Amino acid sequence: MKILIIEDEPRLNEFLKKGLEQQGYVVDSAMNGSAGLELASVGSYDLVLLDIMLPGQNGFEVLENFRQFEIKAPVIIISALSNADRVIEGLDKGAIDYIKKPFDFGELMARIRAAVRRGDAKNFTKYSIGNFHLDLLSRKAWMGDQEIQLTKREFGLMELLLLRTNRIVTKTEIAEKVWEVNFDMGSNVIEVHLSQLRKKLGNADLIRTKVGTGYYIEGELIKS
């Protein structure tokens, strides 16, 4: 599940990002409304966490633009504006929930799980692009009808690259999200894993390299 955080307070933004990643979510974040809207318009997010008091476009304006640009990702507002009129305005503009600051992280996770259960946030478990298929529940992968045996790291690499379809994923991002801690950025471990992964896929063009920048998968990602 892929979540976008739009929150201008740096410490809270980082706290939410790290906390959600530790729970297994793939997370992007923005520090203002305009940047958040730009990410939402080009990315495919299952859920957005949105502050109201943002520089540039405020949260209510972001919600209006979501509707105008037909961005379908469900939104949970997280805001210090706690009076009833603001809550009503947020919900009327399209948010599915409204959490008042300060909040408990456990409560936030419960609200996210509730959104998934009632179908507001789509909990996709299968990804397909071309004839490659990845099943997050069974942790299995196929190229056409042929199952491919992937290691934990290789599976994590494919999941990240698919979630970032049509976007370049840097080596730093791979290290943070797949290796997480104690990774030596001077090593060639990522390159070795990608080389082995490409051999298993039998498709040299599926994972592409942007020299000096990172790696990407190009195409139409189908979630189910």
In this chain, the answer to whether the domains covering 2-117 and 126-223 adopt an identical fold is no
CA proximity to 121, closest of 89, 92, 95: 95
- Dist. CA 86–CA 92, nearest whole Å: 10
**pLDDT reported for residue 117:** 77
Domain residue extents for the chain: 2-117, 126-223
As given in the structure block, the two tokens for residue 29 are: 């974040």
Which letter, b or e, does each residue of 197-209 get, where b requires 16 or more Cβ atoms within 10 Å of its Cβ?
Answer: beeebeeeebbee
What is the CB neighbour count within 10 angstroms for residue 74? 19
26-30, strands of its sheet edge to edge: 26-30, 2-6, 47-50, 75-79, 97-100
Per-residue pLDDT of the chain (224 residues; tens, 9 = 90+): 789 999 999 999 999 999 988 887 888 999 999 999 999 988 778 899 999 999 989 999 999 999 888 888 899 999 999 889 989 999 999 999 999 999 999 999 999 988 877 777 766 778 899 999 999 878 899 999 999 999 988 998 998 899 888 889 998 888 877 876 566 767 888 899 999 999 999 866 899 999 888 999 999 888 88
CATH classification (class only), 126-223: mainly alpha
As given in the structure block, the two tokens for residue 144 are: 């056409």
pTM: 0.66
2-117 has which fold? Answer: Rossmann fold (3.40.50)
Task: Please state the separation of Cα 97 from the chain's center in Å.
Answer: 19
- Dist. CA 24–CA 1, nearest whole Å: 8
